[in-house]
Amino acid sequence: MENFSNTGKRVVFFQKQLEKAMPAVRQQIKVYESHVKSGSTNKSPKVAPQFNNA
């Protein structure tokens, strides 16, 4: 990560980073919204494997 002493440059840097990330975030939101509509947001919990050390 870059080291900025100027706040304005820091803000511009982070805005560019967010612009790069937003398409993926928007896609994830669409997927989540479609799951909410279909009622399939609850995942069954993963169960840890049980080992018998007897």
Read off the pLDDT of residues 1-54 as tens digits, 9 standing for 90 and up: 567 678 888 899 999 999 999 999 999 999 989 988 888 766 777 888 888 776
Cα→Cα distances 18→7, 9, 14, 49, Å: 16, 14, 6, 39
Residue 4's contacts (CB-CB under 8 Å, 6 or more residues apart) are 10, 13
pLDDT at 44: 72
Tokens of 52: 């018998």
Residue 50 per-residue DSSP state? P
pLDDT at 1: 54
Q: Say which residue the tokens 């304005």 belong to.
A: 8
**Residues 36, 48: Cα–Cα separation, whole Å:** 27
pLDDT at 5: 79
pLDDT at 27: 93
